[in-house]
Each structure stands twice: as C-alpha cells, then as structure tokens.
C-alpha cells in the first residue's frame, strides 16, 4: 500500500525592522508541509517567532497574510473578519499555497479586534 505524499509549500516569513524580535529586518523562506503549522516549522528551522497558547486563542503570534493561502483547522478563536482583513495565526495556520506573511502584528491586531468588539482586544484596549 502506498501513502499519498503530502504537499509542501514555500512560506516566506518577513520580520519587520520595527519588530521587537531578534530577527527584526530579516526574511526567511521555509518549506512547510500541509499538515504542519507555520509556527512549528519556523521554530524547527531555528526561526523564533512569538507565541503563547499555540492553540489559536491568545493571538500573540498574529501575522499579516501578504499572499498565498492558509487554513486554521484547529484555531480556538479565529473569526471571519480576521480572515477577511488578512490576519493569520501562525500557531495554527497551515499553508495551502506558497505563502508570504509579515509577523509581529500583535498591537495592530489588538486594535482590530477591539474595533470589532472581539476578545482579547476588547478587554485590552480602551474603545
């Protein structure tokens, strides 16, 4: 019996100059399998991205999708408006195409969630 090979996609991770991360200003190209999360692939490759819960809940890891496609089958708190606005949660995001994301968007995302009266932004921002 043969196993169907899983697809692998190139995920480009852009860390802005302004990010408070050791890798600020760097860009990484990673091979990420369709069953693998972007965060896990990055950390396995030695690219340390921020994250807390790793269950698609706390939003510490949030990034902007620049191009490509991801799915979040196991995210515990990911809303339609997040997807429509181009936010992704790398801790649970799995690629479905060659993809580029910009990480370190947590402040921007808390404002976005607060503006939509969604947690945790609505409890961390004065609206």
Q: Which residues bind other proteins (CB under 8 A)?
A: 50-55, 57-58, 60, 76-77, 119-120, 122-124
**Pairing of β 99-102 and β 63-67:** antiparallel
Closest CB 18 distance from other proteins, rounded Å: 15
Closest CB 58 distance from other proteins, rounded Å: 4
Taking the least distance from each CB to other proteins, the nearer of 10 and 60 is: 60
Taking the least distance from each CB to other proteins, the nearer of 86 and 120 is: 120
Q: Count CB-CB contacts under 10 A for residue 120.
A: 16
List the end-to-end C-alpha distance of the chain, in Å, as a whole number: 58
Peptide bond into 120 cis (omega under 30): yes
Residues found in the chain? 127
Closest CB 41 distance from other proteins, rounded Å: 17
Taking the least distance from each CB to other proteins, the nearer of 50 and 86 is: 50
């Amino acid at each position: 019996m043969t196993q169907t090979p899983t697809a692998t996609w190139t995920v480009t991770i852009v860390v802005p100059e302004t990010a408070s991360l050791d890798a600020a200003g760097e860009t990484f190209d990673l091979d990420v399998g369709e069953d693998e999360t972007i965060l896990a692939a990055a950390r396995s490759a030695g690219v340390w991205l921020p994250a807390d819960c790793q269950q698609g809940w706390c939003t510490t890891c949030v990034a902007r999708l620049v191009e490509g496609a991801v799915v979040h089958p196991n995210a515990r708190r990911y809303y339609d408006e997040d997807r429509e606005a181009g936010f992704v949660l790398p801790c649970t995001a799995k690629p479905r195409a060659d993809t580029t994301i910009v990480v370190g968007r947590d402040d921007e995302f808390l404002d976005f969630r607060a503006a939509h009266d969604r947690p945790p932004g609505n409890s961390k921002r004065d609206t």
